[in-house]
Structure 1
Amino acid sequence: MKKATQVFWYALAISLIVVIWGAVAPENLNSFTSNLTSQILMDFGWFYLLVVIAILLFCVYLMFSRFGNLKLGKKDDEPEFSRSSWFAMLFSAGMGMGLVFWTTAEPISHAFINSPLTEEGTDAAIKEALKYSFFHWGIHAWAIYGIVGLILAYFKFNRGAPGLISATLTPLFGEALMRGAFGKLIDVLAVFATIVGVAATLGFGSAQITGGLSFLFGTPNSFSIQLIVLAAATILFIWSAWSGIGRGIKYLSNINMVLAILLLILLLFAGPTMYILNMFTHTLGNYISDFFKMSLRLAPLNEENRSWINSWTIFYWAWWISWAPFVGIFIARISKGRTVKEFLLGVLLLPSLVCFIFFAVFGVSALHLEQLGIAAISEFTLETSTFGVLAEYPLGTFMSMLTIFVIAIFFITSADSATFVLGMLSTNGLLNPGNSVKITWGIIQSTIAAVVVYFGGTQGLQNMLIIAALPFAIVIILMAISFLKNIQSEARSRR
């Protein structure tokens, strides 16, 4: 295949092995990955917490240090995209469909099914539920994406390096090692983590769209319908990736942010408006005041609380780390011409605030129904809980149909962004990879998703994300050291 590197073929071979394993022996795959994941969560939970808070603090340091005015690119380079398009694309790639999926399910779970600290169903549990939802989807996640994206953008646009994870480590290990087997191993890990992560997301997305159609119109909630949804989405996201970032991906991201905001406003005013605003304000205060306490909470003397932390906080941190190669590379690709401070402020603060608003509106609307006994949202499946909430409010059918449309476009924008990044990683960092490579990765992702949905291997693939995140957390640390070494050296040379 034209310009495809060894990384492409190695990652493709590994992906096919996993597909065959999941198809032939899905229970064995789940068992193996579950056991390994459990061991990692128990033995390295402290490591995940310390790494993530260190990454966040490093981002804050860079924003307000003398390096904050450093431009990603040459002095005369201007941003390729407007701030609104830039934000829409980075947000769609970084959270996308997952945000719509969890905005009702997670607060309901924390408040009424398994509370992190207090008895389920109490006022305290409801407050904690929203606070921890803010925590899991807030600034920590975006700091991970931000630091990887910043480092990749710097090495690509300032140092002329290929847009590869391995290229950022050259100052530490030397060009020969990074162009050899060790560098290829790092890039293959990035490709594989992206493939598995997006495949799991495609599986969730097709399930939620199918569940929504079944909830609204009574269509069969079956594998065949999910397969049709997946096939239609595949055609659309491959077309979008084919069109390139400046056309398909940008336009879809802009359209979807407008629709998502429209949905948000409709539910804000159709739902318990004052309750939502009060809970948002109160929760934001609790989030800020308990920020470091939550960031380092591990509950070493309470097995039940530690189990909750493993299942939620550490799982999320590992999830964000494993997605960092994909999201970081995509954000880097669209951020040429911005300063370090502008980049980090834009990536960390605004997306976090949008996530908080989404969780406040959807989460509080769900909690309100359950709290007053109007509807038992906690009894709905994950993929139908949002539709169960919307059905209880005015314009419920319209909002549900709009939600399906928003999910579908988030579905497409996440997949087309991933397809574009996979093309870059497997063509030695080309900013505009060939269409044949992008099409191949689009088909591979959807094929894995279809196998996962049919054979029930979603949990096994999610566990692989956790497994891949452990070595990648170390890679991120090395990337940060390499980046700091370079910018300090560059600053000294200018004196």
Structure 2
Amino acid sequence: MTRRRSTIAPAVFYPAGGLILLFVLLAFFATDTVKEVMNTLQAKTINGFGWYYVVIVAAFMIFAIWMGVSRFGEITLGPDDEPADFRLPVWFAMLFATGMGIGLVYYGVAEPLSHFESPKPGVTGDAPALAQAAMGQTYVHWGFHAWGIYVVIGLALAYAIHRKGRPASIRWALEPLLGQERVKGRLGDVIDVLAIFGTVFGVATSLGLGVQQVAAGLDYLEVADATLALQMGLIAAITAVAAVSVASGLERGIKWLSNGNMLLAAALVLAVLIMGSTLFVAREWVQSIGYYLQNVMFMTFDTLAFQGEDGLAWESGWTIFYWGWWMSWAPFVGLFIARISRGRTVREFVLGTLLVPMLVTTVWFSVFGGSAIHQERNDPGSMLAPDPETGEMVVNTDTAMFQLFESLPGGGAWMAVVAIVLVVVFFVTSSDSGSFVVDMLANGGDPNPPLWSRLFWAILEGGVAAALLYAGGLSALQTAAILTALPFSVVMIGSAISVWKALDAEYRQITRAERRLRRRELTEHVTEHVTDHVTENFAEISQQSRTNGTRRSRWRRSTSG
């Protein structure tokens, strides 16, 4: 039996794995120090770079839309005329389930309700105005901006991998900008290490949120108390399930789990829609999309500059956290959707990645968040819970969804069970695909990395999630997302420039080739036309000469006679 040759990239695998493992150990054995360092770094990042996050995310969204409608749209991400690897429904399910599934379940009720109960600084008005602003702000956080970030890195990678035949590694997205030698060297190693850091901490953030909600659901069902010990146990158990899924591979693992979970999520949405205020939700969804489109530019660039410390605190807990979370997820989601998008055109890739998730996301938040706001307005206090420290009635992000289920006629325990299953499966698919992507990066872009290293990264992601929960819970999760995104944002800017350069160069080549072909066809056509014309004229002249010669001969004979 031939032993499989190791494909591990030592300059990527060991630094990334070693430093992340060191963080996990420090979080457990030097918890207070880690908390202090993370809080300090978060404050400095928000104060110094909050505006930067706002600007670059806006730029990424605009760039993504422009690429979709530009002259590059017909270029295929793969050999010309090659069919796509996955049918559209399967492609959408895989793309969406690995993108932000846990976050949607966790924040589906909690975020719109939180913005309604504790409005963004500077937002004022009566209850309807606050409710509308809450839905619009939620759409900003989860809509085009998030998926525009994924398009930037995903498109650059899909072009490099499928069009140019490069390895499945983040570094190759920057080849048109940096050149092949730099990409192969130390700079390329640093880029992949940053991508691994972002992916691991981004996935760990999602896993941590998911575990908090599963623990709250079990507490709601009176199965177990939502303690830190329960959360740690859940991470261990679900990470073990994710490791089994990792071993099954892309086709059997992620594909079928994603499809099944999307059907389960759709069933839950329909149940809440039918059992709740159906007409209200439909009207609210249409109206909120209009509000979002009307105000998206202002909300995009709103840094709360005139709101002082309250504005900074709100930004760090919401918008900047999301922008950091999406950017830290970008190498994972970008590489994954690039890998499953072979055969799509640039336009299909961009518009599909932007429009379909945006549509599903707005429906999700309108059904869950809109229903929660409607319930709270009709029965004040029914969607709130006492704060453990102050006793004040607030929105509990861990339990808000279960409170909504309880308020629905015929809802309650069975819907809570479905939600818990959703989160667990999303946990598995996120860890599965995340560890798969990280392992490809750590193996130099090998699309079939060894099983043992895939299991290593799956377990390490669970370890990071456990460490972050132990070192500060939700605050630590948010801080990790914000911090890891900062260095990787530079890579994303380079990726945007690179893919534009590559597509522009190819488009120019295509244009020149088409011009040469048209000139050749025109030349051949004109030559053929001129030849035919000359031949016809020569035949006419010859015929005319023969006719004239015959006439002269007849005239001579007549005159000589």
- Shorter-chain-normalised TM-score: which range? over 0.9
Question: Which residue type is aligned with residue 439 of structure 1?
Answer: L
Conserved in 2, the CA contact under 8 Å of 1:163 and 1:424? yes
Q: CA deviation at 1:89?
A: 1.0
Q: Find the counterpart in structure 2 of residue 349 from structure 1.
A: 355
Measured after TM superposition, the shift of residue 208 of structure 1 is 1.1
Letter in 1 for 2:9: T
2:402 alignment counterpart: 387
Query: What SS does the aligned partner of 2:24 have?
Result: helix
Of the structure 1 ranges 113-122 and 86-95, higher mean CA displacement relative to structure 2 is found in 113-122
Give the whole-Å Cα distance in 2 for the aligned partners of 1:306 and 1:446.
31
Deviation at 1:374, TM superposition (A): 5.4
Q: 2:458 aligns with which of 430, 437, 442?
A: 442
Instruction: Report the CA distance shift for 1:317/1:413 in structure 2 as closer, same or farther (over 3 A).
Output: same
CA–CA distance in structure 2, aligned partners of residues 114 and 299 of structure 1: 13
Inter-partner Cα distance in structure 2 for 1:97 and 1:403: 10
In 1, the alpha carbon distance for the partners of 2:408 and 2:99 equals 29
Write the letter of the residue equivalent to 1:384: T
Say if 1:169 and 1:478, in contact at 8 Å, map to a contact too.
yes
Indicate the SS of the match to 2:306.
Answer: coil
Structure exhibiting the larger radius of gyration computed from Cα positions: 2
1:24 aligned residue = 29
Quote how far apart the aligned CAs of 1:457 are. Answer: 5.7
Deviations 1:183-240 (A, max 9, x none): 1111111101111122222222122112101101342223343333223322222222
Q: Does 1:368 align with 2:384?
A: no
Deviates more, 1:205-214 or 1:287-296: 205-214
How many residues are treated as equivalent by the alignment? 495
Is residue 418 from structure 1 mapped to residue 434 from structure 2 by the alignment? Answer: yes
State the AA in 1 paired with 2:494.
L
Cα distance in 1 for residues equivalent to 2:166 and 2:103: 32
Letter in 1 for 2:403: G
- Counterpart of 2:103? 98
Confirm whether residue 405 of structure 1 aligns to residue 421 of structure 2.
yes
> Which of 129, 154, 157 is the equivalent residue of 1:152?
157
User: What residue number does 1:321 align with?
Assistant: 327
Tell me which moved more, 358-367 or 430-439.
430-439
- Equivalent position amino acid for 1:377 in 2: M
Deviates more, 1:96-105 or 1:175-184: 175-184
* Residues in 2 aligned to 1:99 and 1:84: alpha-carbon distance in whole angstroms: 20
Give the alignment partner of residue 8 of structure 2, picking from 4, 16, 21.
Answer: 4
The match for 2:499 is: 483
Matched with 2:193 is 188
Distance between the aligned counterparts of 1:225 and 1:457, measured in 2? 13
Shift of 1:116: 4.3
Find the aligned partners of 1:385 and 1:183 in 2 and give their Cα distance: 44
Write the deviation string for residues 317-353 of structure 1: whole angstroms up to 9, x where unpaired.
1221111011101111110000011111110011011
Contact 1:110 1:116 in 2 (8 A): no
1:469 aligned partner: 485
Letter in 2 for 1:249: I
| 166-175 or 65-74, which deviates more | 166-175
Cα distance between partner residues in 2 of 1:104 and 1:41: 26
Deviation digits for residues 3-32 of structure 1 (CA, Å, limit 9, x no counterpart) = 221211111111111112211222221221
Q: Which residue is 1:275 aligned to?
A: 280
User: Is 2:151–2:334's contact at 8 Å kept on the other side of the alignment?
Assistant: yes
Structure 1 residue matching 2:429: 3-state secondary structure: helix
Write out aligned runs for 1:177-216 (5 A): 177-216=182-221
Displacement of 1:306 after TM fit? Answer: 4.7
Q: In structure 1, what is the Cα distance between the partners aligned to 2:311 and 2:186?
A: 42
* 2:155–2:499 contact (8 Å) kept in structure 1: no
Aligned partner of residue 338 in structure 1, secondary structure:
coil
**Deviation of residue 121 (structure 1)?**
7.3
d(CA) in 1 for partners of 2:327, 2:477 = 15
Q: Which moved more, 1:8-17 or 1:172-181?
A: 172-181
Q: Indicate conservation of the 8 Å contact 1:210/1:225, yes or no.
A: yes
8 Å contact from structure 1 (residues 116, 128) kept in 2: no
- Whether the 8 Å CA contact 2:122–2:307 is kept in 1: the answer is no
Amino acid aligned to 2:235: L
- How far 1:448 moved relative to its partner? 2.4
Instruction: Tell me, in whole angstroms, the C-alpha distance in 2 between the residues paired with 1:412 and 1:100.
Output: 14
Deviation, structure 1 residue 173: 2.0
Q: State the partner residue of 1:235.
A: 240
Local SS of the residue matching 2:397:
coil
Seen in structure 2, the aligned counterparts of structure 1 residues 63 and 366 have a Cα distance that, compared at 3 Å, is same
Instruction: Please give the TM-score of this superposition, normalised by the length of structure 1.
Output: 0.96
The 2-side partners of 1:30 and 1:223 are apart by 17
C-alpha spacing 1:129/1:203, structure 2 compared with 1 (3 Å): same
Q: Deviations over 1:242-299 (max 9, x none)?
A: 2111111000000000010000000001111122112111111100000111111123
- Inter-partner Cα distance in structure 2 for 1:339 and 1:93: 21
Moved more, 461-470 or 432-441: 461-470
> One-letter code of the match for 1:308?
W
Contact 1:117 1:125 in 2 (8 A): no
Contact 2:198 2:488 in 1 (8 A): no
3-state SS, counterpart of residue 318 of structure 2: helix
Name segments (4+ residues, structure 1) moved above 6 Å.
none
Partners of 2:239 and 2:438 in 1: how far apart? Answer: 15
Mean Cα deviation higher: 314-323 or 343-352: 314-323
CA distance in 1, matches of 2:430, 2:23: 22
1:64 aligns with one of 66, 69, 74: 69
Aligned-residue sequence identity (percent) comes to: 39
What's the counterpart of residue 307 of structure 2? 302
Inter-partner Cα distance in structure 2 for 1:448 and 1:355: 28
The RMSD of aligned alpha carbons is 1.8
Deviation at 1:492, TM superposition (A): 2.3
Q: Distance in 2 between matches of 1:196 and 1:306?
A: 23
1:88 match: 93
Q: Which runs of 5+ in 2 are unaligned?
A: 386-394, 513-561
Indicate which of 13, 34, 37 corresponds to 2:39: 34
- The partner residue of 2:344 within 338, 343, 349 is 338
Greater CA drift, 467-476 or 298-307: 298-307
Question: In 2, Cα distance between the equivalents of 1:475 and 1:282?
Answer: 37
Q: Which moved more, 1:137-146 or 1:55-64?
A: 55-64
SS of residue matched to 2:504: helix
